[in-house]
Amino acid sequence: MNMRIAAACVLAVIIPALAYAGAAQKPVLDAYAAQAKAEQAGFAGFSVERGKAFFLAKHDASAETPSCTTCHTNDPTKPGQTRAGKDVAPMAVSKTQDRFTDAEKVEKWFTRNCQSVVGRACTAQEKGDFITFMASL
Amino acid sequence: MMPRIFAALGMIACVFGMGFLIMGPVASANPAPDPVYAKECSACHIAYPAQFLPKRSWDRIIGSLDKHFGENATLPPKSLVSIKTYLDGHAADASDPNSRIMREVAASQTPARITEMPFWTHIHGRLLARHAFDAPKVKSASNCSACHRGAATGHFGDDD
């Protein structure tokens, strides 16, 4: 019985903490999930692992910005730097809480950076995976 | 002996004079007054003062934001309207086509970047030759703030 109470206490602490990590990002993520469902029939939710792989991948579209990591570094919990030398706040939601909360801003940067780095528009699944990865850190 | 002293004094006066002539209008470029320009154009670099390039250069930059120095920097049309109005009104040749910043810029030339402007190369030429902008803390000649601490608010004097 005591074990059950202890387990309940642990869950009571952990579950809200997990929910909080992405709570502010939920509206933006929900919108991308709805788009992803419309774009692909078999969409089964976003993935931290896919988001991480996408973030670290080297693309062939641009010599100046071959990867997200060109400016954001390999560690999204650390600040990045633009090619013109300006600091970029960490992408990890735990470090920059208001990341991915302003839908217009999120879409502006995906529009620009997907064209710059990947050479095409990103899919809703790629965007959602990316945000899910950043919210997991 | 005397002619040599005069020559030396002349040289010093010339250097200071040139410095004043060139830096005079540059040292205190006005901070960007347009809030949309200040916000959107300072995301990757400082919001460069409009007066550092002629209108024709800004027109070309704003017209090719999808290919902006190796990156896509497109903006929604509503933001572009106020940015263009600001640039048109404050470009190097906005009120005087022969302004100091425009010296040595031929009418046929459309400089693609501030670091191509004669006023800039006159001042920074020696630093360029020494590859001073390659230093990790500077990273790029586009990074005015690395040396000019007041650059983001339009102050480019050596002591800012």
B92 exposure class (CB count in 10 Å sphere: 0-12, 13-18, 19+):
buried
Taking contacts as CB-CB distances below 8 angstroms, the residues of chain A near B43 are 82, 86
Least confident of A100-109, B40-49, B107-116, B145-154: B145-154
Interface contact A78, partner B, CB < 8 A: no
Average pLDDT, chain B: 83
Are A4 and A91 in contact by the 8 Å Cβ rule? The answer is no
The answer to whether A85 contacts B140, with C-beta atoms less than 8 Å apart, is yes
DSSP bridge pairs for A81 = A87
Are A112 and B72 in contact by the 8 Å Cβ rule? The answer is yes
pLDDT in tens, B92-125: 999 898 899 999 999 999 999 999 999 999 999 8
Span A94-100, average pLDDT: 96
What chain A residue is nearest to B73 in terms of C-alpha separation? Answer: A112
Are A6 and A14 in contact by the 8 Å Cβ rule? The answer is no
Domain layout of chain B by residue ranges: 2-153
Percentage of chain A beyond pLDDT 70 is 85
Query: What domains does chain A contain, in order, with CATH numbers?
Result: 24-136 (1.10.760.10)
Choose between B127 and A113: higher pLDDT. Answer: A113
pLDDT at B152 over 90: no
User: Nearest CB to A85: which of B42, B69, B146?
Assistant: B146
Choose between A99 and A2: higher pLDDT. Answer: A99
Please give the pLDDT value at position B15. Answer: 45
The Cα A3–Cα B47 span in angstroms is 60
Interface contact A120, partner B, CB < 8 A: no
Nearest-neighbour CA in chain A from B1: distance (Å): 50
The ipTM of this complex is: 0.80
DSSP helix, strand, coil percent of chain B (3-state; round to 5): 50, 0, 45
pLDDT band at residue B65, thresholds of 50, 70 and 90?
very high
pLDDT in tens, B29-58: 655 578 999 999 999 999 999 999 999 999
Taking contacts as CB-CB distances below 8 angstroms, the residues of chain B near A84 are 44-45, 139-140, 142-143
